[in-house]
Amino acid sequence: MEPNTEITAAVAPERARPLRRELRSWGRDLVIALSLAIVIIIFFYQPVKVEGTSMTPLITDQERIFINKFVYRFEPIERGDVIVFWYPLDRTKSFIKRVVGLPGDTVEIQDGHVSVNGNRLEEPYVPPEELDRGNLSATQVPMGEYFVMGDHRISSNDSRIFGPVPRQFIYGKAVFAYWPFDHFGSIPVIDKASR
């Protein structure tokens, strides 16, 4: 009887070792996956919740989106981009708007229609019923700054009110909506022809 006891005692640790090895492997993989997710979220993409209606119908109130925080290190900000920036009058708040005027551009608004450098801007993203019929005399955008506006013009606090946004306040580009599900997908880029 004693030899059987020794055999049973010798087999039990061998079964425990593969389980420990397996758990250790899973734990290592989980730590690596979480580390990569944290790095991606901190340096590349950040989930944000939109509050307000200034970008409807493209982005609605309480919608969840991802912003790319890294893209503008490699490519320039372009007219039509939907950007996220620190509100110039209170840097504890973030705003999301569309770039209308680039550094050096002259922006003018007549009866709600935007002209850039004397050419009327085609804006298919602004619903006609949301067009603000206001005016803005010709304003030159300073170098290193951007003129931004919301798509829902009649309820947008934008560069018409607080002026152009300095480049250093811009920290991301809206790229992907993930909630609610009926808005799931890439945030469309306006083709260069309409810029």
Dihedral of the CA atoms 99, 150, 117, 81 (nearest 10)?
20
Q: How far apart are CA 80 and CA 102, in angstroms?
A: 10
SS (H, E, C) 26-76: HHHHHHHHHHHHHHHHHHCEEEEECCCCCCCCCCCCCCEEEEECCHHHCCC
Q: How far apart are CA 149 and CA 194, in angstroms?
A: 16
- The residue annotated as part of the active site, out of 25, 54, 137, 186, is 54
- The residue annotated as part of the active site, out of 97, 156, 159, 173, is 97
Q: What is the CA radius of gyration of the chain?
A: 26
97: annotated active-site residue = yes
Handedness of CA 20, 21, 23, 24 (dihedral sign): positive
Handedness of CA 180, 185, 186, 189 (dihedral sign): negative
Q: Which residues pair with 96 in a beta bridge?
A: 84
- Residue positions annotated with a catalytic role: 54, 97
